[in-house]
Each structure stands twice: as structure tokens, then as C-alpha cells.
Amino acid sequence: MSLVACPDCGARFPALDGPTHAYVGASAECWAAFGELSMRELDLGIAGPAQLSPHVYMVQHPGTEGRREAQSVGVHLMVLGSVLERGLATPAAVAAMNGWLRGHPDVPWLKPPSPPATRTIQDLPAQADRATHEAAVLAWAKAVWASWADEHATIRRWLDRGAPG
């Protein structure tokens, strides 16, 4: 079986011919895994603003330098910083996203970590109860947030101001 490495997170998946996202840097295989994760979380009763996983995933898949990519990575890093460093509940951090992006701030491209975090979507259990799943997502989030340590001061400044840029 041929394995394909995701260009952004490095996770390896069996080769798949499928769609990708317009500006997220994930391979088709990794993008499909993210879709499966979303379905598992729905089955566990984790949906919408309660989901931390989409923010972790987007930050770990920054794609290539561009306006949309920069804005996506910036705002999702703000969610992670709010939750992991400032103790904000995920739904409250998600609710703040629109305010952070009000006025369409010019968000600078942040240099993605190299190497990326060692934890990836593949480290989440395929089957688990809600508590076990949420603990695994939190561990993934912490690893991804830590991998962006060079940009933490920027993200903290954005959070203090209430907007990126």
C-alpha cells in the first residue's frame, strides 16, 4: 500500500484521489481524514463552536503564503491562544472570531513552524468516548500551539488588541 505524506503536517495516509481545500495546505488524504474527524465529533455530540479540532487542523495546515491563508492561520491561532493560554472556553473564542476580523484587517503571513508539530490528526483515536477524544484533541492542540512558539508574542499582541495585523 502506497502512503502519501501531507505536505503541511507530515501525516502519512494511504493514497486517495479526492478533493482538497482551496487554500488549506492539506493533501487529499489528510483533508479526507479531517472530514472523517468532523463526522466522529458529530457522533460524540461535539459540534459547531464546541469544536477545537478545526482550529488545530487549520493552524497545522497553513498552506502557502497568501491573504486568505494568512487570515485563516492568524485567526485560528488566536482561538488556540485564547483557549490554551487565556483559559477562554472554545465557544467563547469562536464567538470572538468575527470581532477579530471586523474591518478585514491586513493579517501578515506568519512563518509556519519547521518542523511541524509531531502530533497530527492521526494521533486522535478512531474510536473513543467523548472525554477520551477531547483529551486527545487537547493534547494535539497543545503540541500544535507549541510548534508555533516563534509567533506566540505576535498572537498575544493581537489578542490584547482584539484584532490581528
At 92, the pLDDT band (50, 70, 90 cuts) reads very high
Which residues 6+ apart lie within 8 Å of 23 measured at CB?
A: 63, 66, 68, 69, 72
Residue 5 has pLDDT above 80, yes or no: yes
pLDDT tens, position by position, 146-164: 999 999 999 999 999 998 8
**CA proximity to 80, closest of 16, 156, 3:** 156
User: pTM of the full predicted structure?
Assistant: 0.95
Nine cell digits for residue 20: 482538497
Domain borders along the chain are 49-161
DSSP result, 136-165: HHHHHHHHHHHHTGGGHHHHHHHHHHTS--
pLDDT tens, position by position, 116-142: 999 999 999 999 999 999 999 999 999
Q: In a 3-state reduction of DSSP, which class is residue 153?
A: helix
